[in-house]
Structures are given as C-alpha cells and as structure tokens.
C-alpha cells in the first residue's frame, strides 16, 4: 500500500501553490486598506483593532501595488483552492483517509497520552507505531482541514461584494463584513504559521524521505 494516496499527494501540491498565491496576492490587497475592524462597518483609524503594516513588493503578487491585478490572482486561485479541497475531501471520505488517519480515538485524548506525545515531539521523536499520524499531528491536521481552510473559503465569500449581495446571510454568520475580513486575516496567518512549522519539522526529520513519499506515495510499511 502507498503511504500517501494519489489524491492526497495531488491535493498537497495544488493546495501549497494555491495558498502561496492567495497569501501573496492577499498581502497586495491588504496594502489597499491596511486596517482591520469588527462589525459591519469600519474605515477610520480609531475604529480599527489592528493596523497592518504595508508589505513590500517581493512579498506580494504582483510585485508592485495593483489592486485590480491582485484581486484577479486572488479570485482565480480561490477557485482552484476551493475545488481542490472539495475533491480531496470527497476522495478522503471514499478511501477512508479521514476515518483511518485523521480521526482521533478517545484514549488519545487522555491527559497522560497527550503529555507523552508532547514530550516525544520536544525530543524530536516522531516515530509512532500502529498509525500514520500521532495525536498532535491528527489534531493539527483536523484544525487545518475542518476549521481554518473552510473558514478561509466562507469568510472570503462573505467579504466578496458579489457573493455578499447574493447571500447576505454569510456576513451575518460572521457578525458583519468587517468581522469576516478580520477572521479571514487571522485564518490566513494561522495557516502560514502551520505551514512554517510543518516545513521546519520536515526539514529536521528525514526531509528527503518525506519529500519522496509526498511525490511517489512511499510504502505503508516503511518507518515514519
């Protein structure tokens, strides 16, 4: 058996590309109005809960300030991001990936088991028998897959003028258009933090093996 199914590998790389383009084009969009608010409305500096710094051209798409072009990139890859996530979730339900590899068991939530997992991570001991992922990995992937990624899609729809007009209940769900924009910002930076941690852990623990597995699939019987 392959350690990573083809659907998982394809989505992994498509999702990585999508998130990079979405994040960098989002920084360009942020430069147009670098303040965040709560509620339905907000514009004045004294109403903002956060003043976002202006991002340099090397961190944005395009590499110069252009709101229209940044929005075009953002909308295009938002569709790639959303449709690839939907395809991955359907495939993961059908092939049992969620049930087999992501779902946690009651015993894994025991304080002693969680603490043992934390200590193993601190010692950079990631091997685990009987499962593809340990508890902390399952919890992290679960938050990303079922909280942060859907939040990005739904808040993105809520702050889109066209979709907000067609489905006004979306803005109400998040407490207003500006609240949805703030949650979108928080979710985006949370995903960036997860990505950086994920890459760091891969680099310090058998990076070539993990890279090969995410390209070829690897073998289920190989050590983690």
Contact 32, 69 (CB under 8 A): no
From the list 143, 139, 23, 141, the residue with the least C-alpha distance to 81 is 23
Cβ pair 21, 27 in contact under 8 A: no
Q: How far apart are CA 50 and CA 73, in angstroms?
A: 25
Higher-confidence residue of 130 and 48: namely 48
On the 0-12 / 13-18 / 19+ scale of CB atoms within 10 A, 60 is buried
Of residues 164 and 101, more confidence is placed in 101
pLDDT value, residue 163: 81
The answer to whether 51 and 45 are in contact (CB under 8 A) is yes
| The model's pTM | 0.88
Closest CA to 124 of 219, 200, 57: 200
Q: What percentage of the chain has pLDDT greater than the value 90?
A: 60
H/E segment holding residue 16: helix 6-32
- Tens-digit pLDDT profile for residues 78-124: 999 999 999 999 999 999 889 988 998 888 899 998 898 888 888 77
Show Cβ contacts of residue 161 under 8 Å, excluding neighbours closer than 6 positions.
Answer: none
Which run of H or E residues covers position 117? helix 111-122
User: Helices (H), strands (E): how many in the chain?
Assistant: 10, 2
Note whether 114 and 135 are within 8 A (CB). Answer: yes
> 184: closest CA among 156, 150, 144, 157?
156
Judge: domain 6-216, CATH 1.20.950.20.
Answer: yes
Start-to-end CA span in the chain (Å): 14
pLDDT value of position 223: 41
Neighbours of 93 (CB within 10 A): 11
**224 has a pLDDT exceeding 50:** no
CA-closest candidate to residue 161, choices 142, 184, 177, 139: 177
- Locate 63 and state its tokens: 């590499």
């Amino acid at each position: 058996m392959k350690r990573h199914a083809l659907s998982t590998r394809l989505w992994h790389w498509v999702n990585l590309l999508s998130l990079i383009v979405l994040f960098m084009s989002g920084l360009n969009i942020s430069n147009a109005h670098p303040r965040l608010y709560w509620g339905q409305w907000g514009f004045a500096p004294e109403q903002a809960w956060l003043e976002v710094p202006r991002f340099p051209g090397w961190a944005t798409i395009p590499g110069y300030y252009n709101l229209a072009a940044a929005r075009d990139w953002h909308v295009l890859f938002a569709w790639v991001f959303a449709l690839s996530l939907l395809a991955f979730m359907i495939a993961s339900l059908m092939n049992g990936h969620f049930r087999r590899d992501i779902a946690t068991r009651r015993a894994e939530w025991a304080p002693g088991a969680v603490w043992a997992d934390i200590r193993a991570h601190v010692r950079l001991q990631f091997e685990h028998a009987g499962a593809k992922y340990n508890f902390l990995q399952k919890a992290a992937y679960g938050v990303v897959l079922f909280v942060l990624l859907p939040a990005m899609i739904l808040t993105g729809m809520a702050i889109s003028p066209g979709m907000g007009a067609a489905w006004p209940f979306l803005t109400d769900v998040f407490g207003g258009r500006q609240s949805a924009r703030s949650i979108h910002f928080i979710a985006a930076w949370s995903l960036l933090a997860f990505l950086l941690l994920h890459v760091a852990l891969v680099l310090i623990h058998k990076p070539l093996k993990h890279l090969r597995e995410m390209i070829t699939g690897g073998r289920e019987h190989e050590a983690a």
